[in-house]
Homo-oligomer: A and B are copies of this chain.
Amino acid sequence: MGTSKWLKDRVAIVGMGWTPFGEHFQWDYTDLLKLAAADAMADAGIGREEISAAWLGTAFPDAGVYRGRSGMDLAESLALFDVPITRLSNYCATGAEAIRGGINSLLSGESNAVLVAGVEKLRDRAPQESIVKMMVETGHPYYQKGFTAAGTFATYARRHMKEFSLTREDLAMVSVKNHLHGSMNPKAHHRKEITVEQVLSSPMVADPLSVMDSCPTTDGAAVLILVRAEDAHRYKGTPIFFKGMGMSVSTGWDLPFFDDRCNFLSFRATQVAAQRAYQEADIQDPIREIDLAEVHDCFSIVELLTYEDLGFCAQGEARNFLKSGATTRDGEIPVNVSGGLLSCGHPVGATGVRMVCEIVEHLRGQAGPRQISGAKTGLTHNIGGPGAIASVLILGMEANL
Interface residues of A (CB under 8 A from B): 4, 6-7, 59, 62, 65-66, 69-76, 80-91, 97, 100-101, 103-110, 134, 137-138, 140, 247-255, 268, 272, 384-385, 388-389
Check A90/B86 contact, CB under 8 A, given A71-B249, A388-B75.
yes
CB of A298 to closest CB in B, whole Å: 15
| A-B pairs, 9 with minimum CB distance | A76-B252, A84-B247, A107-B108, A104-B104, A62-B62, A66-B138, A75-B249, A104-B108, A85-B249
* Interface pair B254/A76, CB less than 8 Å apart: yes
CB contacts (< 8 Å) of A384 on chain B: these are 70
Chain B proximity of A29: nearest CB distance (Å): 11
Are B75's CB and A252's CB within 8 A?
A: yes
Give how many copies assemble into the complex.
2
Contacts of A7 in B (CB 8 A): 110
> In the complex, how many angstroms separate the beta carbon of A4 from the nearest chain B beta carbon?
8
A91 to B100, CA, bound (A): 21
A91 touches B107 (CB 8 A): no
A248 touches which of B59, B66, B70, B83 (Cβ 8 Å): B83
How distant is A157 from chain B, measured CB to nearest CB, in Å?
22
Q: Give the residue of B66, B100, B105 whose beta carbon is less than 8 angstroms from that of A86.
A: B100
Inter-chain pairs besides A82-B250, A86-B100, 18 sampled, C-beta below 8 Å: A59-B69, A70-B90, A70-B91, A70-B384, A71-B389, A73-B252, A75-B249, A75-B250, A76-B255, A83-B248, A85-B389, A86-B97, A86-B101, A86-B247, A103-B108, A104-B110, A105-B108, A106-B108
